Structure 1
């Protein structure tokens, strides 16, 4: 038996057994007329949120639990990557009546 004969087979088995991570998604949350839309979103850790502000006012997406605080200037789009699983209620610090929920799976 030659040394190294099984090396390619072992490498193929190892690479084949490795879990291939799913591609992260990009999820759009629009801010328009002082409303987050959709108001309830499901996502996964690693997904990117595009905060699209269509208003002429600046807004924030501020997590009540402190997980994130994103400021979006008027008529601009800002992105953030989700890093932690859980159900997160968030609001706009400038307009506290603006509320929504983001459910993040591992």
Structure 2
């Protein structure tokens, strides 16, 4: 009788183990500034997700956390990226236009 040979590539095995553990992969979300307003942040943010801040205005803006955990400078028509590093609620605003505000709710 011959031996049954099973061949499973390592990346496939890791993908199966990853999926079986219920571990979700990080997401990437765009948060746009237009008309002197931040768009509503996504409701389902998690640690490890990436936010792409996009300034579609003709004015310079920032996305600045009130707790100083991030400060993204956004010249007109530019983008900035950040990876979320901790869970919790974070209020943010534009340093140049303090009435522009928003809030990130991040889950573990």
- TM bracket, shorter-chain basis: 0.7 to 0.9
- Residue 22 of structure 1 is matched in structure 2 by 24
Q: How does 1:43-58 map to 2 (within 5 A)?
A: 43-58=45-60
**TM-score, normalised relative to structure 2:** 0.77
- After TM superposition, which residue ranges in structure 1, 4 or more long, deviate above 4 angstroms? 15-18
**Residue segments in structure 2 that go unaligned for 5+ positions in a row:** 1-12
Cα-to-partner distance string for 1:29-50 (whole Å, 9 max, x where unaligned):
1000110001x43310000001
**TM-score, normalised relative to structure 1:** 0.78
Give the paired residue count: 92
Closer, same or farther in 2 for the Cα pair 1:44/1:16, shift >3 Å?
A: closer
**Residue segments in structure 1 that go unaligned for 5+ positions in a row:** 1-11
Q: How does 1:50-89 map to 2 (within 5 A)?
A: 50-89=52-91
The root-mean-square deviation of aligned C-alpha atoms, in Å, is 2.0
Deviation at 1:67, TM superposition (A): 1.3
